[in-house]
Structure 1
Amino acid sequence: MARLLYSLFLYLITPLIWLRLLWRGRKQAEYLQHLGERYGFYRQPVPAKLIWVHAVSVGETRAVQPLIEGLQACWPEHRILLTGMTPTGREAGRQVYGERVIQAYLPYDYPGAVARFFRHFSPAFGILMETEIWPNLLAAAQARQVPVMLANARLSVRSARGYGKLAALVRPAFAALSGVAAQTAGDAERIAALGARQLAVCGNLKFDVTPAADNIALGQRWRAVIGQRPVWLAASTREGEEPLVLEAWRAVRVPEALLVLVPRHPQRFAEVDGLLGQQGLRVVRRSTGLPQPDTQVWLGDSMGEMAAYFTLADLAFIGGSLLPLGGQNLIEAAACACPVLVGPHTFNFLQATEDAIAAGAARRIDSPAALGAAVDQLLQEEGELAAMRQAASRFAQSHQGATERMLEFIAQCLDQVVR
């Protein structure tokens, strides 16, 4: 009954879904492409043997790379179907995997749409990244005896409380999973409380993602051009954070310090450029060239180059954490040996953040003023920055190995399902 009511609700809000697509399509026309796929209508030819991996957007698409490579090595006779929900995620998939995977949008969670998805692709099994729990999708997979596992699973205390309020709907969905590879013991405990049965703590796949060599080289070339100017990076900032970052920037007294500002979402690049112009700052956009000696802010309006920005920077602030948005992931920064500052709101990546702080790779600040003071102090303390760089490298290396553990767990779950 709960799933029936949920499905009726989805049908009722269909006009709102279309309005949202049209609204987002105003800034990013790609949202209006492949519309049929969002309702389970596909044109892609289907190979005989297929493994389905779902990564909702950019972060998950890049994070799942070592697992996809492991799946291809373990099941070489199968192709990989990579589904997502956003155009930026699809573009990231094209950049990372090229023609090695088949890409499509996962349909909205209408009963008919998910039925068409499984009829068209008939995957041998499926892997959902992080916490993608869709009741009709998982019910359809269970009805067709398609094993589906949750990989790199995480669930914050806040999200667990939200799911708990919908227990009648989500407990059957969690119970339908053939296995859950959780990032931490806390994640596993919270997911088990919602009905999942077969769980293992495997760590975080993002530690196994090696920054692309061409991005590292690009960051080094930028550094050579910029020279000895101190550089601090505000990475993956979210709406409402840029004014706070600029407030912090005004407190940085280090001569010639360059702020590299990279918004999280590409549809906001022009908006942030306008904000910087209103502030009277000397700005250069990445898309138009490299910063000049008198440039105050370099706006990173590019996709897929975050490792290059981390390589360039002496210090990085991780966005989404000054406002109660949960923060973005600091693991890529650590992999690039970049010291990190985070704000008070990191509940989306709490364990990784706390571990990085404990390791000396990151420091928490509680306000824009504190951010400015920390940047000002650290850019003048090369010894402390060097110690944080070494700590970041050690932290990243010490947490690797999740891919191998996940592949073993997936094989174990599939063996139990088959038997």
Structure 2
Amino acid sequence: MPKFVYTALIYMVALLLPVKLLWRGLKQPAYRQHVGERYGFYTQKINAPLIWVHCVSVGETRATQPLIQALLKEYPQHQILMTHGTPTGRETGQQVLREEIASGRVLQAYLPVDTPGAAKRFFAHFKPALGLLMETELWFHLIAEASHRQMPVALLSARLSEKSARGYAKLGKLTHDCLQQLALVAAQTEADAQRLQALGASNVMVCGNLKFDVTPPAESVTNGAGLRELLGTNRTVLMAASTREGEEPMILDAVKDSDVLLLLVPRHPQRFAEVEALLKARGLRYVLRTELAQTLNEDVQVVLGNSMGEMYTYYAASDFAIMGGSLQPLGGQNLIEAATMGVPTILGPHMFNFAQVTREAVAANAAVQMADIAELKNTIANLAKDKAKVRAMSEAANDFTVQHRGTTQRLMAAINKLLKT
């Protein structure tokens, strides 16, 4: 794709963006806030040299917590600018870095739409000393403008599935030139590194997955134990984590004849009402998490996790979990949070966005993966009745996360070199 075609398409996106924000804002009013930032107009006050970290949404924001805390410790004279693409990402940043934001050491903003003008306004206002993009965020005009200003940009904890690599390959020279402008690409796995190099990246290293270094909130275990008391300690609790549209019916069908209590947690908060309507339509006995104030009656079948910021608490209250996004061809979701809490995970056949960590978790006995969705009912039933297997998998999940830590230190060593150049 010629760059002028991409530029024309991005300007069309910019023109239509208010419509999207208004539409999304009907369900999530936060989409109607800070609209000027989407076009590169900012009011944040800069009091020190900036290190810019882009975390598009919830998963990347949580994963970046240990890195940002390490940066604040190593560079006390700097501020950190966290940019996001979604309100839920921004809200998550406020949850996991509350004190740092309150003190002014961490600023938050939306990354602007990738037009040349918005990119210029972004850099003119913030003037960062270094840019760190998390996972797979290639914005061609922003990266080109950073290169023009001789500001180093690194792609960290980078992952690129085969499907995404094919998509970027179709852009040809546009992708190649963008990757060449990056000062560093720190890939999660050797396979990710090879795919990025094939597309044009240089200065590539393998660093591991930053999500293994995330420390769950200190209160997670205590809060999880309290939630488990409400759910019932004599029941088997199955958490359906970060489910996506179309997956809830599959899971409900798989547990409908069992005694398992289903803790159902949709991926996106705007779907809470939709999933509740599904439970009503099926005539299921359910309780909303936000209304759960006393021990459940034994006849309750489903607890709908309609709260924000409680994923670790939900895991701590569960015996085992099903990973959302993996029952349909959506690529799966992050299984590391479950493993960190010692929760065995059932994975569907579609974990292609987390292919290597899936293979390693299954090999470590921290997770089981189904070849076909038809196996779901039996897989749940087998784990529900085999408590010894669940305990063994729980221990394996804890060991698995411990063995994969250390990415933050490797990334900090690389960042130190970039800031000194």
CA–CA separation in structure 1 for the residues paired with 2:386 and 2:163: 37
CA–CA separation in structure 2 for the residues paired with 1:414 and 1:199: 17
Matched, 1:119 2:124: yes
Matched, 1:81 2:86: no
CA–CA separation in structure 2 for the residues paired with 1:73 and 1:4: 42
Q: Any residues of structure 2 matched to 1:121-200 within 5 Å, and which? A: 121-200=126-205
5+ residue gaps in structure 1?
none
CA–CA separation in structure 2 for the residues paired with 1:227 and 1:361: 23
Deviation at 1:293, TM superposition (A): 2.6
What is the aligned partner in structure 2 of residue 277 from structure 1? 280
Matched, 1:266 2:272: no
Q: Any residues of structure 2 matched to 1:5-154 within 5 Å, and which? A: 5-98=5-98, 99=101, 100-154=105-159
Q: Flag as ranges the 4+ runs of structure 1 deviating above 4 A.
A: none
Matched, 1:338 2:340: no
For residues 56-78 of structure 1, what are the alpha-carbon distances to aligned partners after superposition, in whole Å with 9 as ceiling and x for unaligned? Answer: 00110000001101111111110
Q: Any residues of structure 2 matched to 1:385-400 within 5 Å, and which? A: 385-400=390-405
Counterpart of 1:77 in 2: which secondary structure? coil
Deviation at 1:46, TM superposition (A): 1.1
Segment drifting more, 133-142 vs 8-17: 8-17
Q: How many residues align?
A: 413
What is the aligned partner in structure 1 of residue 234 from structure 2? 228
Aligned residue type for 2:366: A
Deviation at 1:365, TM superposition (A): 1.5
CA–CA separation in structure 2 for the residues paired with 1:48 and 1:363: 48
Q: TM-score by structure 1 length?
A: 0.96
What is the aligned partner in structure 1 of residue 352 from structure 2? 347
Counterpart of 2:91 in 1: which secondary structure? helix
Q: Is the contact made by 2:133 and 2:155 (CA closer than 8 Å) also made in structure 1?
A: yes
5+ residue gaps in structure 2?
none
Aligned residue type for 1:406: L
Q: Residues 161 and 409 (structure 1 numbering): CA distance in 2 closer, same or farther, change over 3 Å?
A: same
Q: Is the contact made by 1:250 and 1:372 (CA closer than 8 Å) also made in structure 2?
A: no
Deviation at 1:116, TM superposition (A): 0.2
CA–CA separation in structure 2 for the residues paired with 1:90 and 1:126: 18
Deviation at 1:411, TM superposition (A): 1.8
Q: Is the contact made by 1:322 and 1:366 (CA closer than 8 Å) also made in structure 2?
A: no
CA–CA separation in structure 2 for the residues paired with 1:412 and 1:183: 19
Deviation at 1:368, TM superposition (A): 4.1
Counterpart of 1:128 in 2: which secondary structure? strand
Matched, 1:239 2:217: no
Counterpart of 1:166 in 2: which secondary structure? coil
Q: Is the contact made by 1:245 and 1:368 (CA closer than 8 Å) also made in structure 2?
A: no
Deviation at 1:370, TM superposition (A): 1.4
Segment drifting more, 190-199 vs 27-36: 190-199
What is the aligned partner in structure 2 of residue 3 from structure 1? 3
Counterpart of 1:302 in 2: which secondary structure? coil
CA–CA separation in structure 1 for the residues paired with 2:39 and 2:14: 11
Deviation at 1:199, TM superposition (A): 1.1
